Amino acid sequence: MALWGIHELPTVVLDVLHVIIALTIINAYNLIDGVDGLASTLGISIFSMFGLIFLTMGLNYYFLICVSLICVLLAFMRYNFSHEKKIFMGDTGGSLVIGFCIAILTLKFLTLDTTLFHKFTFAPPQNKLLIVAAILAVPLFDMMRVIGVRLLKKQSPFTADRNHIHHILSDLGLEHYKIAILLGLLNYTLAIILIFFASIFNSFQMMFILPIIFVLLLGGIFHKLKLLSLKKINN
């Protein structure tokens, strides 16, 4: 059974979808880079989950790529959190490059032979995209939430504001390292929850479950936190 009942797509359509997926991931990761250590923490969580998948499948080359990128981010975090010798990630040589690496690993995962998934309980190829959404839960949610809020306010989706989830937590008084750890753990938690559901439900059912989880668990929580942060700022 194929994803949403679609068994095969023309090559041109697949190429366009791959480009859209890659650009979405790169921009989502770039947008989440707003406080010290957050992009690194989320990158480590994402690469560790992809690394575990590739290791289980026996794809040692891609597993080593994930391990190498984790080590790079760990080394960077030492200076990113430092007060004396601080280094910022930046865009061109930092978050965009890491986002590109995540996009490449994602496309590799999406194009894997389904026979390699026999050790996993989720049903490929039905839920491949949903597994990707689980692994990238926090960056993708933050991007969709911010764009949605801006459009509801009749603003350009590219308008700069403080509606990102890390800005909300920062306005509530949380330190940067606490925000990074909290959202990193949230990314792991959401991935576990969504992958668990993907092992029970098919892709059609997950089309309804995924938005419900994002709206209730994340949309509701961060909407309330945003109201609290605005109240704190006004006081």
Task: Give residue-wise pLDDT tens across range 54-101.
Answer: 998 889 999 999 999 999 999 888 887 777 777 777 666 678 999 999
Among the listed residues 39, 164, 143, the one whose alpha carbon sits nearest the alpha carbon of residue 95: 39
The yes-or-no verdict on residue 235 having pLDDT over 80 is no
Which of these ranges, 23-32, 99-108, 149-158, has the smallest mean pLDDT?
149-158
Q: Average pLDDT of 208-232?
A: 74
The secondary structure of residue 116, as a DSSP letter, is G
- This prediction's pTM: 0.86
Report long-range pairs for 104-113 (Cβ below 8 Å, ≥24 apart): 104/22, 105/47, 105/50, 105/62, 105/65, 105/66, 106/21, 106/22, 106/25, 106/50, 106/132, 106/136, 107/18, 107/21, 107/22, 108/62, 109/50, 109/53, 110/21, 112/57
- Cα–Cα distance for residue pair 102/1, rounded to 1 Å: 27
The yes-or-no verdict on residue 1 having pLDDT over 50 is no
Q: Average pLDDT of 38-44?
A: 91
Among the listed residues 59, 73, 63, 44, the one whose alpha carbon sits nearest the alpha carbon of residue 188: 44
Structure confidence at residue 115 (pLDDT): 74
Structure confidence at residue 224 (pLDDT): 76
